[in-house]
Amino acid sequence: MTRLAAEIGKGLAPAREARPIRPLERIHVLGAAGAGASAAVLLAHRAGALVSGCDPGGPSPYSAALVEAGIDLDWRHSPEHVLRPDDPAARPERLAVTKALTSIDPDNAELHAAAELGIAAEPWQQVVADAAATTGQALLAVAGTHGKSTTTGWLIDLLVRAGRDPSAFVGALLDAHLAGGMPSTARWGSGDVFLVEADEYAGNFDAYRPHIMVLLNAEWDHPDVFADEEAVFAAFERWIRNAPLEAVLIANVADPGVMRIAERLSSDWPGEIVAVDSDAHGLKIGLAGPANASNALAVVTAGRVLSVPESVIRESVAGFKGVGRRLELKGEIGGVVVLDDYGHHPTAIARTLQAVRERYPGRPVWAIYEPLTYHRTASMLDRFAEALATADHVAIADIWAGRDPDTTITSAQALADAVSARGGPAAVASGSVEQTADFLAREVRAGDVVLVMGGGRSYVIAARLVELLGRGEAVRSQAHA
C-alpha cells in the first residue's frame, strides 16, 4: 500500500453487509454531482429515503436528473447540511462521500460536524449496495481495469431488450431509454437483476457482495493506491472471495491478469468460474475496436448465465450504441469529427485509438489527452507516450490533479516531450481545457478526427470545440502540410 492509499477513506466506516434502506431514512451525500455519487442519490431516493446532496463543483451532466427528481441540492459545503440548526430533527442519519475526499479535504466541515454528532460517514458505494438490498434483486457486478462502464451499460441494454427491467448503477451517462427517464447514471427497475459497475480503486467495490461477477481484465493502474500489479490482483481476488458462497465468476481468461486470478481461485474458492466464450460465432458487434469485441463476448457469456434468449443476446450485441463519454460522437462539423472518451490509462488509450482508426479509416487522427493525476502520469509516462505517439497529431492539456496532492512530479509538457521523442507527431502542451479547445479550433482541418480523452474536465474540450466549429470559427478545408 502506498502512503497516499493509507489516507484514502480514512475515517469512513468500513464496508459492511448491505441492508435495506428504511422508508424516510435521512441520507446526505457529499459530491452529489459526480457520476457515482449522483447514482447513490437517485437510488436512495427511489428506495424511499429522504436524500439531500451538495457539491461545490456545481451542476454537472449527472446532476440534471437529481434536479428533475426534486432532490434537495446545494452547491457548497456547509456544516449546516449536517447540523440543521433550524430543524435538528432533520439531521441526516447517514453521510455518504467519495473516499478520495478524505485525502483531498481532510478538514471538511461537514465531515467534522458528522463526527461531532456521531453520524457515521461512509462511501457512497454503500448506499448503492443498500439500495440493491432494498429491491431484493440479484446483484451482478462488472469489474476490471478497463471496459466496466461500457459492459455494464451493455448488460443493461441486454436486460431491457429481454423485458427484465433491471436496476443499475453505471459510472457513465445512460441515455433516457436505458435510464428509464432522464439521462443519468442510475436505473430503478422492477426486474430480477441489479447491475453495478464495481471499481477496484481503494476498495471502492468492497460494499458489493454480488451473486454474479464479470471480470473483464486486470493490470496495473491507480499507482497512488496500488504499488504494483500484484497488489491489483490481490485486491480483485480478495473481493471475489468475499462474495456469497454460491457466487458465479464470469472470467475473461483470455486476459493474462484474469487468468492469473482465476488460477489462484480455482483450488479452493467455492464459487463457480465460467470462462468468457472466446469465439464470436459470427456475431455482429455494434461497437468498434478490439476492446469492445472482448466486452461483447463477456456480455454474451453473462447473457447465457442469466438465461437470456440467444436472439435477444445477438440483438443487443449488434444494436447497443454505447454509454456517455465512451467513444461518444459529440458532432461532425465542417468535416471534422469530434469524439469524447473517458480513457485515462495507456492500454485504454491505445485500444481507443485503434477503434477510431477502424471506424474512420484513412483519416488524420488527433489524440487530445487531459492526464488524470500527476502520480499516474509520472508513473506511466513512457507508456502514455508510446500509446499517444500512434496518432497523427497530439495535444496534452494541463494535468487534472483530482485527488493527487503532489503537482510537482511531472507536467503536461513532460508528456508532450516524451511523445515527440518517440519519432511520432510533434506533441503540444496546449494549456487549460478551454485553451486546448481554442487551439484545436484554429488547427483542425476538414477530414480530421479529434479524439478527446481524460477523466477530469476533458469533456469541456469536446463540447467547446463543437461549439466553436459550429460557429464556423477557423475550420480549414485544405490538407495538413
Does the structure show a pLDDT above 80 at 179? yes
pLDDT value at position 366?
98
- Categorize the per-residue pLDDT at 456 as very low, low, confident or very high, splitting at 50, 70 and 90: confident
**pLDDT value of residue 343:** 85
> How many domains would you assign to the chain?
3
Distance CA 403, CA 104 (A): 5
Angstrom distance (rounded) from CA 284 to CA 293: 10
Sign of CA dihedral 171, 172, 173, 175: negative
Name residue 283's amino acid. Answer: L
Torsion angle defined by CA atoms of residues 124, 128, 130 and 136, in that order, rounded to the nearest 10 degrees: 180
Does any domain span residue 400? yes
Domain co-membership, 207 together with 315: yes
Q: How far apart are CA 97 and CA 380, in angstroms?
A: 28
Q: Are 475 and 348 in contact (CB under 8 A)?
A: no
Task: Looking at the structure, tell me whether residues 49 and 142 fall in a common domain.
Answer: no
Asked, for residue 246, whether it belongs to a domain, the answer is yes
Task: Write the Ramachandran bin of 163: left for phi over 0, alpha for psi from -120 to 50, otherwise beta.
Answer: left
Q: Which of 405, 429, 407 is nearest to 417 (CA)?
A: 429
Same domain, 28 and 170: no
CA dist 30 and 73 (Å) reads: 10
Question: In terms of DSSP H, where are the helices of 14-123?
Answer: 35-46, 64-68, 80-83, 101-104, 109-117
Q: SS in 3 state form for 129-173?
A: HHHHHHHCCEEEEEECCCCHHHHHHHHHHHHHHCCCCCEEEEEEE
End-of-domain residue from the set 290, 319, 348: 319
What's the pTM value of the predicted model, to 2 decimals? Answer: 0.86
Do 31 and 59 fall into the same domain? yes
Quickly state the pLDDT bin for 291 (edges 50, 70, 90).
Answer: confident
Rounded mean pLDDT, 307-326: 93
pLDDT computed for residue 3 by the predictor: 47
Q: Euclidean distance between the first and final Cα of the chain, in Å?
A: 49
Which amino acid appears at position 396 of this protein? I
Q: Are residues 114 and 160 in the same domain?
A: no
Mean pLDDT of all residues belonging to the chain: 93
On whether both 168 and 107 belong to a single domain, the answer is no
Tell me the average pLDDT across 241-269: 96
Tell which residue, 49, 151, 152, 32, has the closest CA to residue 101. 32
CA atoms within 13 A on the CB side of 157: 23
Q: Within a domain: residue 303?
A: yes
* Domain range for 352: 328-470
Residue given cell 464556423 in the structure block: 472
**pLDDT band of 220, cuts 50, 70, 90:** confident
**Residue range 407-447, pLDDT digits in tens:** 899 999 999 999 999 987 899 999 999 999 999 999 999 99
Among 99-103, 304-308, 320-324, top mean pLDDT goes to 304-308
- Do both 146 and 278 map to the same domain? yes
**What pLDDT is stored for residue 130 in this prediction?**
98
Encode pLDDT of 324-359 as tens digits: 788 899 999 999 999 999 888 898 899 899 999 999
Write the pLDDT tens digit of every residue in 54-84. 999 899 989 999 999 999 999 999 999 999 9
Q: Could you tell me if residue 480 is inside a domain?
A: no
Q: What pLDDT does residue 419 have? A: 96
CATH code: domain of residue 350: 3.90.190.20
Is 479 a member of any domain? Answer: no
pLDDT of residue 480: 54
Q: Name the percent of the chain lying above pLDDT 90.
A: 81
Residue 1 has pLDDT above 70, yes or no: no
Q: Tell me what pLDDT residue 481 has.
A: 47
Mark which of 75, 100, 123 sits at the end of a domain.
123
Percent of the chain whose pLDDT exceeds 70: 96
Which CATH number do you get for residue 86?
A: 3.40.50.720
Contact, 451 vs 339, CB < 8 A?
yes
> Does 30 share its domain with 160?
no
16 and 65 in one domain? yes
